[in-house]
Amino acid sequence: MKNKNIFTNFSHLPYFTKQDLVIFAEHLSISDTTLDTLIQRAIKSKEIFALKRNYYVTKDFFSKHSNRIEYKYYLANILLKPSYITGETALQHYGLLSEAVMNYYTSISHKTTRNFKDFIGIFEYKMIKPEFFNGFKFVKFSLDEEEYSYAIAKPYKAIYDYLYYKTRLKNLNKEELFAILDDLRINYEDLPKSEIKQLVNMFK
């Protein structure tokens, strides 16, 4: 019985790790071999889902919150640290990019470029120099009355990150920059003047 119920102890969490399970299993005198077997059985029976290697979430928790985009942004931050949501995903979030890409989450990190594909979708991480790892904010949200937060680029930085990897262009004047934004159908006109100024300055 104790083996069967081990994962219910994590059903209130947005994610848990293999290390969390190891620590818990030690208190129940469950061996590492038995724990590995239990994990594989739980994944096969879909009692738990694998987010990436050694990162999991219970079916109960994910099913309850699967319609919360904030939760998926939060997971994107967790799967590779440090990182923040940006590019296409952030532009769609702000209504700045009309073309939607479903189940695809773009982020920036100052670690190695990585992609993770799991049952949620594709999590893409592009590498950026540490000095450009900025221009993001933390947004709070609640799940089951517990408070969490995710990091997402501010609108001007989301545009900059998108253009940086899309075009690789630098040293653009205002007219050149706006022409590219128009060609890419990025709706920058509604941004506050302060953010447009920040965007323009980043390409000088």
- State the pTM of this model: 0.92
Q: For 116, phi and psi rounded to 5 degrees?
A: -125, 130
Same domain, 58 and 71: no
Q: How many angstroms separate the CA atoms of 172 and 86, rounded?
A: 21
Instruction: Give the pLDDT of residue 167.
Output: 86
Read off the DSSP letter of residue 94. Answer: T
Which among 39, 63, 87 is the end of a domain?
Answer: 63
Domain around 34: 6-63
Same domain, 106 and 184: yes
Same domain, 93 and 35: no
Distances 180 to 186, 192, 202 between C-alpha atoms, Å: 9, 19, 15
The H-assigned helical ranges of the chain are 18-27, 32-44, 59-65, 69-79, 87-93, 155-167, 174-183, 193-202
Q: How many angstroms separate the CA atoms of 182 and 173, rounded?
A: 14
Instruction: Give the pLDDT of residue 3.
Output: 52
Same domain, 32 and 121: no
Contact 186, 96 (CB under 8 A): yes
pLDDT tens track of the chain, all 204 residues? 445 579 999 999 999 999 999 999 998 899 999 999 999 999 999 999 999 999 999 999 999 999 999 999 999 999 999 999 999 999 999 999 977 778 999 999 988 899 999 999 999 999 998 988 999 999 999 999 999 999 999 999 999 999 988 888 788 899 999 999 999 999 999 899 999 999 999 988
How, if at all, do strands 104-109 and 48-52 pair? unpaired
Overall number of domains in the chain: 2
Q: How many angstroms separate the CA atoms of 84 and 133, rounded?
A: 9
Instruction: Give the pLDDT of residue 100.
Output: 72
Same domain, 10 and 72: no
Instruction: Give the pLDDT of residue 169.
Output: 78
- Domain presence at residue 157: yes
Q: Which residues pair with 146 in a beta bridge?
A: 143
